[in-house]
Amino acid sequence: MSETFDYIVVGAGSAGCVLANRLTEDPARSVLLLEAGGEDDADEMHIPAAFSSLFKTRHDWNYETVEQKQLGGRRAYWPRAKVLGGCSSMNAMIYIRGNRADYDGWRDKHGAAGWGYDDVLPYFVRSEHNTRLGGPLHGTDGPLYVEDRRFTHELSQAWVDAAVAWGLKPTDDFNGATQEGAGLYQVTCRGGRRWSTADAYLRPALDRPNLTVRTNALAERVLFEGTRAVGVAYRRHGTAEVARTEGEVLLAGGAVNSPQLLMLSGIGPAEHLRELGLEVLVHLPEVGENLHDHPAAAILWQTRDTTDLADLATPGALLRWKLTGRGPLASNVGEAGAFYQVRTDLPDMQVHVAPSIFYDNGLREPSVSGFTAGATLVAPLSRGRLRLRSADPRWRPEIDPAYYADPIDLEVMVAALRHMIEIGTRAPLARLLAGPHLPTTHTLSDEDLAEHVRAVTQTLYHPVGTCAIGTVVDPELRVRGAEGLRVVDASVMPVVPRGNTNAPTIMVAERAADLIRGRTSS
């Protein structure tokens, strides 16, 4: 038995929820939304400061990379949300669009016609409901609430002031006319509570009779007649099911799951697929290639004469947050930061600072009161790839971001960590820092700092590129060599934007919905 829909969307994450909403605005079109995870009903999902407590739970795909040569053979843990709202239900909620040059580069260097900055800006604006900033660069009536965080620790503001004293300019809008500067991040929250794409896009559409949502539904392969996608085979609660479409299949599983599903369906590097006993439908060698991410490494201090965010998470703070949406639990942890240039004319470094000890993805309980300044490489040159380990859809794929494969990436990170140390000596931050925590001294050679980078580097949760525009999909996100099949998520980004990738992923889905429906941004 199978059902038939106009569109089947695979993945109810940051992109899939947008597609489900926008495509069902047309009451004549039916949409099936498949999500491998469950409902976004964990209390921790709605408390901004609790996001890292969701890692390695049932809401997490719990991926890890292959051994990374430049990280001393370590495997890096990659949290990816497995729940309605996807990573927008588990991220640090920082609202960053990227740099104008990112999108113009997609257009000019990667054949992504229609994806230049002036083309995509209307979709950022359309999606946004900013509670402080307005037009022409910001939206004020979109579904995605963006607000100034309702709690800021004194350490975060002190870091911004110290960074300005060090030489960065102050900014109150990283998404304005220019990206550079130091300041406090805006977040995708509403009244101090997380506002995911499940909140913004999916829930308002759930009452529409033309939308069907299936959770705990693991897509196993796309079904084809010839090279036309005609459905999806999936498994739900152990039962094999099939859904068919007379329109299109839209893959929105992200930079890991979308290329995995393409390869499981016979679209990808032919030799690799044959090695696993998979029938080759379309030889598309670039599927899974071009994998890259924003690596992050931090300097950590012990603090004095101040508080630690971790110590403020008390029952009283929880009650305050529940009643008012305020207090320390309204913190997104990564409260402040900066964009600046290390070796290029455009920002290649983003900073995330936290008023606590945060490293190893926040999985280690802080042993001291502390402060974290994390350097994030937002213009990495290194490229890796993703491959299948098995023809079984339940097997995790082989993930290799090839961190620091290009030695320039490591050089930039070392320089940035030296900058973090220097900023820590500036007022007013310096008086709140008792001394180094990790590394244990700041008298370090470049090689010492490089070893520290190798030891502490982690993902900033921004993988992209594995189904890139120009190689795997065309500028309308249609998979090359197939019909009725598109990819709509961060995997289509040929180059990662300079900044957090959630807002760009939502933009991709907003524009894709128009492409699918034959509309324009006006």
- What is the tens place of the pLDDT at every residue in 478-496? 999 999 999 999 999 999 9
pLDDT at 30 over 60: yes
Is residue 308 domain-resident? yes
pLDDT tens for 304-330 read 999 999 999 999 999 999 999 999 999
Chain mean pLDDT for the chain: 97
Is residue 61 domain-resident? no
How much is the pLDDT for 367?
87
The reply to whether 59 belongs to the active site is: no
List the Cα angle 34/38/43 in 5-degree steps.
140
Range of the domain at 20: 1-41+79-144+194-292+384-398+462-522
Closest CA to 219 of 391, 393, 40: 393
List the Cα angle 121/126/129 in 5-degree steps.
115
pLDDT at 447 over 60: yes
How many independent structural domains does the chain possess? 2
Confidence bin at 521 (pLDDT 50/70/90): low
pLDDT at 27 over 60: yes
CATH assignment at residue 368: 3.30.410.40
How much is the pLDDT for 245?
98
Quick one: 351 and 442 in the same domain? Answer: yes
How much is the pLDDT for 519?
79
Quick one: 234 and 338 in the same domain? Answer: no
Confidence bin at 364 (pLDDT 50/70/90): confident
Quick one: 288 and 299 in the same domain? Answer: no
Quick one: 391 and 374 in the same domain? Answer: no
Is residue 53 domain-resident? no
% of residues, the chain, pLDDT over 90: 98
Quick one: 102 and 158 in the same domain? Answer: no
Quick one: 164 and 258 in the same domain? Answer: no
Sequence-distant (≥ 6) Cβ neighbours of residue 302 within 8 angstroms = 368, 369, 370, 433, 434, 435, 436, 437
pLDDT tens for 60-99 read 999 999 999 999 999 999 999 999 999 999 999 999 999 9
**Structure tokens, 51:** 């996001």
Sequence-distant (≥ 6) Cβ neighbours of residue 392 within 8 angstroms = none
pLDDT at 1 over 90: no
Annotated binding site for FAD: 83
Quick one: 416 and 450 in the same domain? Answer: yes
pTM over 0.85: yes
Is residue 239 domain-resident? yes
CATH assignment at residue 110: 3.50.50.60
Sequence-distant (≥ 6) Cβ neighbours of residue 43 within 8 angstroms = 50
Quick one: 391 and 491 in the same domain? Answer: yes
Other Cβ atoms closer than 10 A to 465: 29
Is residue 164 domain-resident? yes
pLDDT at 358 over 90: yes
Confidence bin at 477 (pLDDT 50/70/90): very high
Sequence-distant (≥ 6) Cβ neighbours of residue 209 within 8 angstroms = 27
What is each CA distance from 387 to 144, 399, 491, in whole angstroms? 34, 7, 14
Overall average pLDDT of the 437-452 stretch: 98
Is residue 504 domain-resident? yes
Closest CA to 409 of 7, 63, 136, 68: 68
Q: DSSP label at 278?
A: P
How much is the pLDDT for 224?
98
Quick one: 288 and 313 in the same domain? Answer: no
pLDDT at 10 over 70: yes
Quick one: 365 and 421 in the same domain? Answer: yes
Quick one: 443 and 470 in the same domain? Answer: no
Quick one: 412 and 347 in the same domain? Answer: yes
How much is the pLDDT for 223?
98
pLDDT at 522 over 60: no
